[in-house]
Structures are given as structure tokens and as C-alpha cells.
């Protein structure tokens, strides 16, 4: 190497170095800016999520507890005028026994159970002249059925006094929790003044307790007795739909994806189908509702409001997503595995089912479960097939009328008893979100488990 032009070489080297330093500074600055933007956007997203969850929890958690009234109830033989509970006689045909039982149930139903409540409250404050309708307004309507069922289960209660905890009326709960402005004039209050006074008095004397709202989880929706309205019917309906989607959309979607990805010859038809599957994923969900109403209800004559129909509609919606996710998972399997299997003399089907699919399974399952969870939160298509009907029973089969969690949220959000159902709505959202988070957790667990197996 010629070392003669040392001075000029040095200066040129210096120049290069200073220019490098300059551009380097600029590059570093650019990187810092980009990172900052990333951190800010992630932070923003996180803040939104926290805000969402925070507000839902803050509104919804109070609904998990509700006011109930503790008082002794005397099962007064003067009021419960029934014969002894029928016992099966020897040589009695079952039909006859059933008839006698029904008759006894009729007697029970004709007894004035509300009167027990009135007497219970009047007993607490014997010095006051409490009107029966004011006493009865304290309790939600379902309480009288509760008393009747207690008695039917144990007729020995006749003539006994029990210390009971009975669900307060929704308006009483609202009043006691300060969810309504106490300074409003009488005409705008939902409870009569004597009832409000009575409720305050009961609370002051320690007869009102906040108890876990088991009705929320144990009952179906109710109009006549809002305080005992629950989510169970909607929850079971959603579970049925979940099962239908799992049984319909996942096998069909995964099968279609495997065929398209591994077997279908490349042709213009297949390209057309692919484009349309991708388009289907972007079709508004309400359109699927219309399709479902036309196809399953009008044509196949399936019942309205049934989880089976809801599940089928949601399956149609989930299908494109399942197919796209499955194809992505299949594409991610290295081609060398297919080659290895084919070179061993495996048929195409064997190569796919022995090697490609097991490797793609974590991705397939994750995609499928996420698609199912997403479809479970859909509301619009369910409205069009009548799942927004008021259903007071827990569906016993996927063909029974039912609501769904998402629709229940919609219905409660529009309930006329606004200040009571606001919290219930948020509580229903918490339940729906919990269900989805559990599904996603299952997806993550399955993926981790299956991935760890060989890597």
C-alpha cells in the first residue's frame, strides 16, 4: 500500500468520518422518533382498553350485589288453606296420584302468599298502620312464588316462623342505593312516599342487607319481577349457539380450507371462490341475519328465536374467517414436510393428514376459536331471527326459544327501569366478556400445548 499521501488521506478519512457521524445522528434520531411513536400508540391503545374495562367494571360490579330484606315470616295456617300434601296410596294408578297432586298445587296457588309478606312487615312495626300494598311493594314479585315453592317442597313449614332473606323490589334497591334523586317530587318518584319511608326505616333498623345477586346467574329474564331477572336463559342460549358454531363452522371451514389449499387444482374457478370467501368475511353481519331469516326460518321452517338457527347464522358468519385462518396456518407449514411425505410414497391425503395438518393445528385451532368467539358477540343478525324476543325460560334444547348474551345486553340497555338495569347491563357485559376471554385463553393454551410438543 502506498503510504505517501498521508496528510490528504487523513483529511479525507476525517471527512468521511464526520459525515458518517452526522448521518448516524440523523438515523438515531429517526429511530428514536419511530420508537416514541410506537410507545405512544401502544400506550394510547392500552389506556383505551383500561378505560373500557374500568368503566364496565365500575358500573357492572355493583349489580352483583342487591338489596334483600331480612325478616321473620310466619307460615300462617289461617292464610295457607291447603289440605295435607298428597301421598301416593297403595294400588293407586299414577294418573290418579298426579291428579291429586295438581289439585293440591292449585290450592297452593290460590292461597294469598302476599299476605304473609304484609303480616311479616306489620309484625316488625306493630305500632304503625302499614297498608298491605305498601308492605308488598317492598318485595319483588318473584318472592311470593319463592314462598310458595318453599312450602311445596316442605309442607311441614305450616305454622312455623322462618327468618328469611327476601329480594327487595328493583325500585326499592334503586332508592336505597341512591340511584334516584331523593329530592324529586312525589309525582316523579317511582315509589309511593310511605314505601320509601318504610324502606328507609328497614335499612336504619338493619333489616336490609346487600347480598350476592344469585338471581342474576340463576334466573332467566323477567318482566314482572325485574329484581329477579337474570342471565341464565341468555347464557345457556349463547352456549347452545357456541356448540352449533363449533360443530358446523369449524369442521366445514377447516375442511373447505384444506381442500382449497392442498387439493384444489389451480384454476380460474378456484380463484373466484377465494376472492368471494375473502369478500364474505367483510359482509356486514346484519346481512347474514337476513339470509338466515330467509333461509332457515322461511325455507327450512326452523323455529324462530331458536339457538339452533342463531348458531347456523353465526356459523355462516364465522365460516370465511375460519377458512382464511386455516389456510394461513396451512400455508405456514414448510413445503419440505409435504415433499418429504410425498417422497416417502405417502398419498396426498396422507401427507396432509399425517404431517401438514398436525403442524398447522395450533394455528387452525386459534383461528377457529377466535372466529367462534367473535361471532358469539354478534347481535345484529340475531335480532333478525327473533332472538330479541322476551323469553322467561331457560331453553332446554337448541330448538327452544331463547335469548343470547349479546341480545340480552341490548334488551336491558333499552329497559324502561333504567336506573336499575344500567348496572345489570354492565354486569351482562362482564359475563359476555368473561366468556370470550375464557375462550381466548383456551385458544392460547391449546396453541402453547400443541406447539411445545415438537419444538
**Complex with another protein: residue 192 or 264, whichever CB lies closer:** 264
List alpha helices for 259-334, DSSP H: 268-280, 285-292, 307-331
Q: Which three cell numbers stand for residue 246?
A: 363449533
The site for another protein (CB under 8 A) is made up of 266, 334, 336-347, 350, 354-355, 358-359, 454-455
SS3 416: coil
Q: Which is nearer to another protein, 126 or 265 (CB)?
A: 265
Considering the complex, state which of residue 100 and residue 354 has its C-beta at the smaller distance from another protein: 354
> Looking at beta carbons only, is 90 or 335 nearer to another protein?
335
Least separation, in Å, of the C-beta of 256 and another protein? Answer: 21
How far apart, in whole angstroms, are the C-alpha atoms of residue 148 and residue 159? 14
Sequence length of the chain is: 455
Q: DSSP code of 403?
A: -
The per-type count for the chain, helices as H runs and strands as E runs, is 18, 3
Q: Which is nearer to another protein, 141 or 355 (CB)?
A: 355
**Beta carbon of residue 337, minimum distance to another protein (angstroms, whole number):** 6
**Based on CB atoms, which residue is closest to another protein, 211 or 338?**
338
Nearer of residues 93 and 345 to another protein, judged by Cβ: 345
Do the strands 208-212 and 161-167 form a parallel or antiparallel pair, or are they unpaired?
Answer: unpaired
Strands ordered across the beta sheet of 65-74: 161-167, 65-74, 208-212
Is 248 within 8 Å of 312 (Cβ atoms)? Answer: yes
For the record, the C-alpha cell of 390 comes out as 322476551
Residue (145 or 354) nearer to another protein, CB: 354
Q: How many CB atoms lie within 10 A of CB 415?
A: 17
Partners of 72 in beta bridges: 163
Q: Strands 65-74 and 208-212: what pairing?
A: antiparallel
Q: Cα(316)–Cα(308) distance, rounded to whole angstroms?
A: 12
Count of other CB atoms within 10 angstroms of residue 390: 13
Q: Give the shortest CB-253-to-another protein separation in angstroms.
A: 24
- Least Å distance, CB 348 to another protein, is 9
CB of 454 to another protein, least distance (A): 4
Q: Dump the DSSP string for 325-355.
A: HHHHHHHTS-HHHHHHHHHTT--HHHIIIII
8 A C-beta contact, residue 310 and residue 385? yes
CB-nearer residue toward another protein: 259 or 390: 259
Instruction: Decide: 62 and 426 in contact? Cβ < 8 Å.
Output: no
Minimum separation from the CB atom of position 170 to another protein (A): 59
- Shortest Cβ 275–another protein spacing (Å): 19
* Contact status, residue 215 vs residue 409, Cβ threshold 8 Å: no
Q: How far is the CB of 443 from another protein (least distance, A)?
A: 21
The whole-angstrom separation of Cα 218 and Cα 231 is 7
Residue closer to another protein (CB basis): 232 or 337? 337
CB of 371 to another protein, least distance (A): 26
What letter does residue 185 receive in the DSSP assignment? -
Query: At 66, which helix (H) or strand (E)?
Result: strand 65-74
**Least separation in angstroms between CB 355 and another protein:** 6
Give 77 or 334: the residue with its C-beta nearer to another protein. Answer: 334
Contact 419, 264 (CB under 8 A): no
Amino acid at each position: 500500500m502506498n503510504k505517501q499521501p498521508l496528510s490528504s488521506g487523513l483529511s479525507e478519512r476525517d471527512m468521511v468520518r464526520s459525515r458518517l457521524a452526522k448521518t448516524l445522528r440523523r438515523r438515531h434520531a429517526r429511530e428514536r422518533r419511530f420508537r416514541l411513536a410506537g410507545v405512544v400508540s401502544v400506550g394510547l391503545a392500552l389506556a383505551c382498553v383500561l378505560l373500557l374495562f374500568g368503566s364496565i367494571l365500575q358500573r357492572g360490579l355493583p349489580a352483583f350485589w342487591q338489596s334483600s330484606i331480612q325478616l321473620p315470616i310466619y307460615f300462617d295456617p289461617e292464610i295457607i288453606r291447603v289440605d295435607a300434601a298428597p301421598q301416593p296410596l297403595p294400588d293407586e294408578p299414577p294418573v290418579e296420584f298426579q291428579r291429586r297432586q295438581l289439585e293440591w298445587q292449585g290450592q297452593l296457588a290460590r292461597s294469598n302468599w302476599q299476605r304473609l309478606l304484609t303480616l311479616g312487615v306489620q309484625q316488625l312495626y306493630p305500632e304503625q298502620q302499614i297498608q298491605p300494598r305498601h308492605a308488598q311493594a317492598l318485595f319483588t314479585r318473584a318472592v311470593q312464588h319463592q314462598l310458595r315453592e318453599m312450602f311445596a317442597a316442605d309442607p311441614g313449614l305450616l305454622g312455623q316462623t322462618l327468618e328469611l332473606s327476601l329480594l327487595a323490589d328493583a325500585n326499592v334497591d334503586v332508592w336505597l342505593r341512591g340511584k334516584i334523586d331523593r329530592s324529586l317530587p312525589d309525582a316523579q318518584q317511582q315509589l309511593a312516599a310511605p314505601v320509601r319511608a318504610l324502606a328507609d326505616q328497614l335499612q336504619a333498623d338493619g333489616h336490609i342487607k346487600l347480598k350476592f345477586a344469585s338471581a342474576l346467574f340463576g334466573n332467566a329474564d323477567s318482566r314482572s319481577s325485574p329484581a329477579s331477572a337474570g342471565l341464565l336463559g341468555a347464557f345457556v342460549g349463547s352456549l347452545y349457539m357456541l356448540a352449533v358454531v363449533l360443530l358446523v363452522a369449524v369442521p366445514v371451514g377447516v375442511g373447505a380450507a384444506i381442500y382449497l389449499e392442498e387439493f384444489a387444482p389451480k384454476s380460474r374457478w378456484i380463484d373466484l371462490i377465494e376472492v368471494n370467501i375473502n369478500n364474505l368475511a367483510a359482509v356486514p353481519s346484519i346481512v347474514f341475519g337476513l339470509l338466515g331469516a330467509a333461509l332457515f326460518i322461511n325455507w327450512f321452517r326452523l323455529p324462530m328465536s331458536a339457538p339452533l338457527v342463531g348458531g347456523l347464522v353465526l356459523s355462516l358468519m364465522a365460516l370465511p374467517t375460519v377458512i382464511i385462518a386455516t389456510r394461513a396456518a396451512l400455508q405456514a407449514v414448510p413445503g419440505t414436510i409435504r415433499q418429504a411425505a410425498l417422497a416417502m410414497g405417502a398419498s396426498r391425503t396422507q401427507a396432509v393428514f399425517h404431517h401438514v395438518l398436525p403442524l398447522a393445528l395450533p394455528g387452525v385451532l386459534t383461528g377457529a376459536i377466535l372466529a367462534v368467539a367473535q361471532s358469539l358477540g354478534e347481535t345484529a343478525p340475531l335480532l333478525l331471527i327473533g332472538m330479541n324476543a322476551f323469553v322467561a325460560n331457560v331453553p332446554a334444547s337448541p330448538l327452544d326459544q331463547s335469548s343470547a348474551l349479546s341480545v340480552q345486553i341490548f334488551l336491558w340497555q333499552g329497559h324502561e327501569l333504567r336506573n336499575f338495569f344500567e348496572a345489570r347491563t354492565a354486569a351482562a357485559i362482564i359475563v359476555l366478556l368473561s366468556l370470550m376471554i375464557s375462550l381466548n385463553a383456551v385458544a392460547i393454551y391449546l396453541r402453547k400445548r400443541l406447539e411445545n410438543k415438537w419444538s
